[in-house]
Amino acid sequence: MRPVAPPMELRRPIIVLFAVACGLSVACVTFAEPLLDSIADEFGISHAAAGTVTTVTQLGYGLGLVLLVPLGDLVDRRRLIVAHAVLAAAALLAVAAAPSAAILYAAFAAVGLLAVVTQILVAHAALLADPAERGRVVGLVTSGVITGILLARAISGGLADLLGWRAVYVCASAAMFAVGLLLLAFVPRGPRMAARLAYPQLLRSLATLFAEVTILRVRAALAALIFASNTILWTPLVLPLTREPFWLTRTEVGLFGLAGAAGAIGATLAGRLADRGFVQHVTAAGLLLMILAWLPIAFMHASLVLLALGALAISFGLQAVHVSNQSLIYMTRPDARSRLVAGYMIFYSIGSALGAAASTLVYARAGWLGVCLAGCATSVVAMGVWWLTRNVAPDDAARR
């Protein structure tokens, strides 16, 4: 292996571009959430099974994490990022034009597959950043992710009410293509990749990294649990809010995502605290918030203000834990950053897919209270995993 070149200074406009690109990419996975009832009605999918649209997208995302993200350790990351953006624009157009449910599902899977450019961007930003500021940079870029999720719910609901759900994906395709051009023009190439592995070896090395890097296993398990809890809230939310006694429009449902704006603040704050050595404190606080948030959410029928407060708390806690997880993982194996983030985010995708699939089934059988109990229980399990592994830290042997 060649030694990896030292990091370079990242200018703030470039960090902002990274954040915007990440936000748009992850928004493409989230756009469907306020639209599930419209999509279900048009294609004859039962409302109880509407969460399968999200599940298929998340499964595509998981496949992309395995097959595409590790390429960041093998080829030029800037070219890889731009190629992903252009292909994602094409996949979004395919969703907009889908004539049947089968093609729709295939297109959603492709959208999920290509949305993993988010993780390549985060890994590239971490590689370019100075080690003393890596947590801050990862936090700022990750804040774009949560902002994208929040805006996706609001924008997709509003556009769907005005122009129909297909217009959401036409606009998203145009925006993704434009961002791809900006990335091509302004993103630094960074140091040449150190890995000399062939592609099949690169994929097999994912399992090796899990065996060698203890902190990766621990934080990946936490990722699965916290993102499962998150999707348990958001996937079925459109179903009760668009019915009695609320009768909200999709625009109004999407606006509830803005209540989680604290997530962007949580990501930035967590990154700064991680640079100062407070990762475990931030993790504990974030998990506690995710547990307590379900109490006001459970009583949303008394007042939608309670739902807004709970969504805010879940978003803040989720991003605090997520950035803490990444800060610890990026302390290990600089030659394998793309594979590390791929391995970590595979568990994010698994958790999100399982949460999406389970939540609509739970809602159909046990109503909103059942959803809240499932989400809270998942967050409690996450707290238990953290407590049992709180003394695990990136070991020196993994930092070679």
Domains of the chain: 12-399 (1.20.1250.20)
pLDDT at 382 over 50: yes
Q: What's the average model confidence in pLDDT over 328-338? A: 78
Instruction: Specify the pLDDT at position 232.
Output: 93
State the Cα angle at 333 between 141 and 398, rounded to 5°.
130
- Judged by average pLDDT, the poorest of 125-134, 159-168, 221-230 is 125-134
Burial (Cβ within 10 Å: 0-12, 13-18, ≥19) of residue 164: middle
In the structure, what pLDDT confidence band is assigned to residue 228 with cuts at 50, 70 and 90?
A: very high
pLDDT at 126 over 80: no
Count CA atoms within 13 Å of residue 321 on its CB side.
Answer: 34
Instruction: Specify the pLDDT at position 8.
Output: 47
The alpha carbon of residue 345 and the mean position of all alpha carbons in its chain are separated, in whole angstroms, by: 8
Instruction: Specify the pLDDT at position 220.
Output: 93
Q: Tell me the angle at which helices 51-67 and 12-30 cross, rounded to the nearest 10 degrees.
A: 130
Residue 303: CB atoms within 10 A of its CB come to 11
Contacts of 193 (CB under 8 A, 6+ apart): 72, 73, 74, 75, 76, 77
Instruction: Specify the pLDDT at position 196.
Output: 65
Q: What pTM did the predictor assign?
A: 0.72
pLDDT at 394 over 90: no
Structure tokens at 356: 């999406």
Q: What is the pLDDT of residues 8-20, one digit of tens each?
A: 456 778 888 888 8
Structure tokens at 52: 């399968």
Structure tokens at 299: 């009583």
In the structure, what pLDDT confidence band is assigned to residue 258 with cuts at 50, 70 and 90?
A: low
Structure tokens at 66: 């395995």
In the structure, what pLDDT confidence band is assigned to residue 400 with cuts at 50, 70 and 90?
A: very low
Share of the chain above pLDDT 70, in %: 87
CA distance 368 to 206: 38
CA distance 388 to 391: 8
Instruction: Specify the pLDDT at position 148.
Output: 81
Instruction: Specify the pLDDT at position 398.
Output: 43
Structure tokens at 285: 């606080």
State which of 23-37, 81-95, 158-172, 311-325 shows the largest mean pLDDT: 81-95
Q: What is the pLDDT of residues 43-97, one digit of tens each?
A: 877 766 666 787 788 788 888 888 888 887 777 888 889 999 999 999 999 999 9
Three-state helix/strand/coil letters over the chain: CCCCCCCCCCCHHHHHHHHHHHHHHHHHHHCCHHHHHHHHHHHCCCHHHCHHHHHHHHHHHHHHHHHCHHHHHCCCHHHHHHHHHHHHHHHHHHHHHCCCHHHHHHHHHHHHHHCCHHHHHHHHHHHHCCHHHHHHHHHHHHHHHHHHHHHHHHHHHHHHHHHCHHHHHHHHHHHHHHHHHHHHHHCCCCCCCCCCCCHHHHHHHHHHHHHHCHHHHHHHHHHHHHHHHHHHHHCCCHHHHCCCCCCCCHHHHHHHHHHHHHHHHHHHHHHHHHHCCCHHHHHHHHHHHHHHCHHHHHCCCCCHHHHHHHHHHHHHHHHHHHHHHHHHHCCCCHHHHHHHHHHHHHHHHHHHHHHHHHHHHHHHHHHHHHHHHHHHHHHHHHHHHHHHHCCCCCCHHHHC
pLDDT at 385 over 90: yes
Give the residue, 58 or 217, on which the prediction is more confident: 217
Instruction: Specify the pLDDT at position 107.
Output: 94
CA distance 23 to 20: 5
Instruction: Specify the pLDDT at position 78.
Output: 84
CA distance 180 to 154: 23
Instruction: Specify the pLDDT at position 226.
Output: 95
Q: What is the pLDDT of residues 128-155, one digit of tens each?
A: 777 677 777 777 787 777 778 777 777 8
pLDDT at 123 over 80: no
Residue 82: CB atoms within 10 A of its CB come to 20
Instruction: Specify the pLDDT at position 397.
Output: 39
pLDDT at 270 over 50: yes
Task: Assess whether the previous peptide bond of 245 is cis (omega < 30° from 0).
Answer: yes
- Judged by average pLDDT, the poorest of 135-144, 321-330, 377-386 is 135-144
Q: What is the pLDDT of residues 272-295, one digit of tens each?
A: 777 777 888 889 999 999 999 999
Across the chain, what does the average pLDDT equal? 82
Count CA atoms within 13 Å of residue 397 on its CB side.
Answer: 6
pLDDT at 192 over 60: no
Q: What's the average model confidence in pLDDT over 320-337? A: 81
State the Cα angle at 111 between 267 and 204, rounded to 5°.
80
CA distance 212 to 398: 7
In the structure, what pLDDT confidence band is assigned to residue 322 with cuts at 50, 70 and 90?
A: confident
Q: What's the average model confidence in pLDDT over 178-195? A: 77
